[in-house]
Amino acid sequence: MTEPMDRAEESALWRHWRAAVVNAAGEAAPGPDPLLLAAYAEHRLSETAAEVVEAWLVRHPEAIADVLAAGDSNAGSRPIQPPEAALGRAMGLVPDPDPKVVPFRRPAGPQVPVWRVAVGRIAVAASLLIVSLVGFTLGTDAYTSLLNGDQPTSVLSQDLFDPPSGIFSGFGEESSS
């Protein structure tokens, strides 16, 4: 566009003017919001609105690359493939309002009629009753036969109150001798 000598001179002129006017003015207004910058990148702004963005870009030249990159974002360049872990972390930022929790249910067995259940329970109750009655009868018979004197009373009472001789009795005898 210009000769190197001219370019150096022009660059110096611009820097001189910038230092005196742009930098000296300080920060004036807050920057444009991302949507305004995006609209600028797509050249959708009116001349007046674009001037505001351009004045801000002169003070923030680092954002010029953002505008250029944003303009290129629709160019169909191949995006980077993000790792699945990073995708999972980002997806986890929004919780599922209706989590699909499957309630635990017992596996459904064959349908048993109510009468069969009732008969089963009655049978269990009846067998318990029979066992109790038989046990009571046997105990009563044994007691009655003891009272009728099949064995001497002294033997019976000795069996009842004296502990049977066991291994400890032999051990005690050895220790005493």
User: Are the C-beta atoms of 83 and 77 separated by less than 8 Å?
Assistant: no
Q: What are phi and psi of 141, to 5 degrees?
A: -60, -45
Is 43 a binding residue for other proteins by CB under 8 A? The answer is: yes
- Draw the binding track, 64-83, toward other proteins (x: CB under 8 A; -: no contact): xxxxxxxx-xx-xx-xxxxx
Closest CA to 140 of 33, 148, 35, 170: 148
Least Å distance between CB 104 and other proteins? 24
* Number of residues forming the site for other proteins (CB under 8 A): 62
Q: Which helix (H) or strand (E) holds 55?
A: helix 47-59
User: Are the C-beta atoms of 36 and 45 separated by less than 8 Å?
Assistant: yes
Q: Which of 96, 162, 173, 174 binds other proteins (CB under 8 A)?
A: 96
Q: Please state, in angstroms and as integers, the Cα–Cα distance from residue 93 to each residue in 15, 40, 80, 96, 98, following that order.
A: 46, 30, 21, 10, 15
Q: Rounded distance, CA 116 to CA 110, Å?
A: 13
Closer residue to other proteins (CB): 38 or 156: 38
Is 30 a binding residue for other proteins by CB under 8 A? The answer is: no
Closer residue to other proteins (CB): 54 or 141: 54
Residue ranges binding other proteins (CB under 8 A)? 1, 10-11, 13-25, 33-35, 37-39, 41-44, 50-52, 54-55, 57-58, 61-62, 64-71, 73-74, 76-77, 79-83, 86-87, 89-91, 93-97
